[in-house]
A and B are shown apart, each in its own frame.
Chain A
Amino acid sequence: MTQRFHTGDAVRTRAANPDGHTRLPRYLCGRRGTVEAVHGVYPLPDERARGIALTSCTKEALYTVVFDGREVWRERSSEPLSISADLWDCYLEPERAAK
């Protein structure tokens, strides 16, 4: 799969968790964030955990995505917090730029 996103892109994480292993933490499901860094292509752990060999599993772009703490926890706070996670391409969908 090609790299769909670039640094600065607004993205939204997938809302639902799959049945098996994934590296999208549940607390970050369905949240809007910004691509902060692009790290190249890595084997998809969701497939590796199902026993699919390194040679035949899907390889996808990996990104660092930064989320505002208020977006993650759905609450107002005057104390600035950001949370980032390293997420594979298929965990993300493009988000129309807000504002």
Chain B
Amino acid sequence: MASRVGALVAKLEAKGIVREAELDAAVEAFLLSTQRAGGPALVARAWVDPAFRARLFADANRALDEIGVDMTHWAQVKLRAVENTDRVHNVIVCTLCSCYPVSLLGPSPSWYKSLAYRSRVVREPRAVLAEFGLKLDPGIEVRVWDSTAELRYVVIPRRPEGTEGLGEADLAALVTRDSLIGTAVCRANSAG
């Protein structure tokens, strides 16, 4: 893969289509933007502000505008937030490729792009989640969202018990990447 990318870059440079400095700047801008990934802040606000929560499930893009998260990387995408409850657990996948809300979650983990995750999580999601250490009650409905088109999905996990006294910043620290994909839940002590 690296050698193919290298060969492609060399060709593009030789043809004068890109310059190395431009590529470096684009990569750096991408990495910087994903460091500001807004997923945890989004969830924390939804946990403390019921009106915001309602707006988030009605129109997630407008809710993102409110907290200053930009979903436009290369093109405008529509975001949909899906809610975990005591009866429903949501999990996100892209079986066709590796679609992922990068501006909310940062760069995707390699397992998210793996054929094993993409093929198995729609076939036997409970077994896959158990391998992540998440054992669901048999009565809980698993909802798998396959991002096949123009929408991106983010899971809004349940607020852990025992966090009633925490402020938004402390709550955001409990929200892990995997909990936003749906392969984990948030725990009161997960931030250590």
A-B contacts, CB under 8 A, total:
62
Interface size class of B (residues with CB under 8 A): 20 to 34
Are the C-beta atoms of A84 and B145 separated by less than 8 Å? Answer: yes
Q: Could you tell me the dominant secondary structure of chain B's interface residues?
A: mixed
B21 proximal to A (CB < 8 A): no
> A39-B78, A78-B138, A80-B140 given as contacts; is B149 within 8 A of A62 (CB)?
yes
Within 5-61 of A, Cβ neighbours of B (below 8 Å) are at 23-25, 27-28, 37, 39, 42, 45
Q: Is B107 an interface residue (CB 8 A)?
A: no
Nearest-neighbour CB distance to chain A for B185, whole angstroms, equals: 18
Number of interface residues of A (CB under 8 A): 25
Produce 1/0 per residue, B78-89, CB < 8 A to A.
101000000000
Asked if B149 and A83 make an inter-chain contact with CB atoms under 8 angstroms apart, the answer reads no
Chain A residues, Cβ within 8 Å of B139: 80
Pairwise interchain contact A64-B143, C-beta atoms closer than 8 A: no
A/B interface sample: 11 pairs, CB < 8 A: A23-B96, A25-B95, A25-B148, A39-B78, A42-B149, A73-B123, A82-B141, A82-B142, A86-B151, A87-B149, A88-B149
